[in-house]
């Protein structure tokens, strides 16, 4: 398998606090990998460094052979990394289609007008919002807002999709729908790194899991093995 993302000795300090300490792991092309760990273990900080929100204190973030550590978020987006946020970010006063078209206008090969409208409709179909582009973004249910946020992330045609607790807050029925949607993205070849607390989703979606605790990596391997690892169980019990 070809490595798409290689994290090498990544470190982030906030003043005297080392939030991420010497973390290394890889994600292969087409893989869906979970980044796990109890609260405060440094997962979001890793995602923030990969997407460019924070510059690492040291270490490398190599995407398809190129070190992107410390680049600005828009440059990293143009290199092919898209993300969703823990709290859904939408443009509430616009229609569903306009929300996706706004994302299309910001990608490197900007799409406008009819082309953008057609592409937005296609993306909405892909996330289960086909034919609903005219609706007001504010009127969407929570799961539908999440679908739209995913369509906005996919608008960039990313090589790597970062999902930060995208499934959190969904009811059991919606959770099943959400898992199916991410599964279908994976089946179509998307490479996905996800932070997730819902273990049912991790087991269903991720072939591999990386676990952090207090800023360091404590496990990395096939999901079933990692979740049965005593060191991982102890870390979670202390949460
Ligand atoms: P997780 O996502 O695993 O819950 P975080 O990456 O959010 O963990 O946090 C790891 C540590 O870094 C925590 O101790 C947190 O308080 C600290 N931290 C995160 N972001 C900042 C920040 N912007 N400034 C200072 N400390 C931060």
Whether 227 has a pLDDT exceeding 90, the answer reads yes
Q: What is the Cα–Cα distance from 26 to 208, expressed in whole angstroms?
A: 10
Establish if 219 belongs to a structural domain. Answer: yes
Relative to the CA of 37, which ligand 1 atom is closest? Answer: 3
The pick from 13, 14, 209 for probing ligand 1's pocket by mutation, whose C-beta has the most ligand atoms within 8 angstroms, reads 14
On whether both 2 and 67 belong to a single domain, the answer is yes
What count of Cα atoms within 13 Å lies in the side-chain half-sphere of residue 27?
Answer: 27
Q: What pLDDT is attached to residue 86?
A: 63
pTM check: above 0.90: yes
Do 70 and 101 reside in the same domain of the chain? no
Measure 165 CA to ligand 1 centroid, in angstroms. Answer: 15
226 alpha carbon to ligand 1 midpoint, in Å?
Answer: 23
Stretch 113-137: mean pLDDT = 92
Instruction: Verify whether ligand 1 is closer than 6 Å to residue 21 (CB atom).
Output: no
Domain check: are 165 and 152 in the same one? no
The CB density around residue 179, as the number of other CB atoms within 10 Å, is 18
pLDDT digits (tens, 9 = 90+) for 174-197: 999 999 999 999 999 999 999 999
Structure tokens at 204: 């269903």
Q: Where among 103, 126, 157 does a domain terminate?
A: 157
C-alpha closest to that of 29 among 64, 53, 66: 64
CA distances from 30 to 21, 66, 181, 186 (A): 27, 18, 15, 7
Query: What total of structural domains would you count in the chain?
Result: 2
Are residues 68 and 114 both part of a single domain? Answer: no
Residue 85 resides in a domain: no
Ligand 1 pocket mutation pick from 23, 36, 40, 164 by most atoms within 8 angstroms of CB? 40
Question: Within this chain, do residues 148 and 187 fall inside the same structural domain, yes or no?
Answer: no
Q: Is the CB of 16 under 6 A from ligand 1?
A: no
10 & 75 share domain: yes
Helix (H) or strand (E) holding 35: strand 32-36
135: domain range? 90-157
Q: Which two tokens stand for residue 2?
A: 């070809």
Q: Among candidates 180, 179, 143, 182, which has minimal Cα distance to 161?
A: 182
CA of 17 to the centre of ligand 1 (A): 9
| 203 neighbors 34 (Cβ within 8 angstroms) | no
213 touches ligand 1 (CB under 6 Å)? no
Does the residue 106 lie in any domain?
yes
Domain boundary among 106, 135, 157: 157
Q: Which of 201, 158, 159, 196 minimizes the C-alpha distance to 183?
A: 201
Is the shortest distance between the CB of 45 and ligand 1 below 6 Å? yes
Strands of the sheet containing 81-84, edge to edge, are 81-84, 160-164, 191-195, 32-36, 208-213, 216-222
- Give the Å distance between the CA of 20 and the centre of ligand 1: 9
Mark whether 74 and 167 lie in a shared domain.
Answer: yes
Q: Is residue 173 part of a domain?
A: yes
pLDDT of res. 159: 97
CA 139 – CA 64 distance, rounded (Å): 39
Among 113, 138, 157, the domain-final residue is 157
- Percent of the chain past pLDDT 90, that is, above it, reads 85
CATH of the domain at 48: 3.40.50.300
């Amino acid at each position: 398998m070809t490595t798409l993302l290689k994290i090498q000795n990544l470190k982030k300090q906030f003043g005297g606090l080392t939030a991420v300490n010497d973390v290394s792991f890889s994600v292969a092309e087409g893989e869906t990998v979970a980044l796990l760990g109890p609260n405060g273990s440094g997962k979001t900080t890793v995602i923030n460094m990969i997407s460019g929100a924070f510059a690492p204190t040291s270490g490398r973030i190599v995407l398809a052979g190129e070190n992107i550590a410390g680049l600005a978020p828009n440059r990293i987006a143009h290199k092919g990394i898209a993300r969703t946020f823990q709290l859904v970010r939408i443009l509430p006063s616009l229609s569903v289609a306009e929300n996706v078209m706004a994302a299309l206008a910001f990608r490197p090969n900007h799409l406008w007008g009819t082309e953008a409208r057609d592409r937005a409709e296609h993306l909405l179909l892909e996330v289960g919002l086909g034919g609903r582009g005219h609706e007001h973004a504010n009127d969407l249910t929570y799961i539908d807002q999440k679908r739209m946020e995913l369509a906005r992330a996919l608008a960039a045609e990313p090589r790597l999709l970062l999902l930060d607790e995208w499934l959190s807050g969904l009811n059991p029925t919606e959770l099943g729908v959400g898992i199916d949607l991410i599964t279908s993205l994976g089946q179509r070849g998307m490479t996905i790194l996800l932070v997730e607390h819902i273990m049912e989703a991790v087991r269903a979606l991720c072939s591999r899991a990386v676990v952090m605790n207090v800023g360091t990596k404590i496990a990395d391997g096939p999901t079933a093995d990692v979740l049965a690892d005593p060191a991982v169980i102890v870390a979670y019990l202390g949460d």
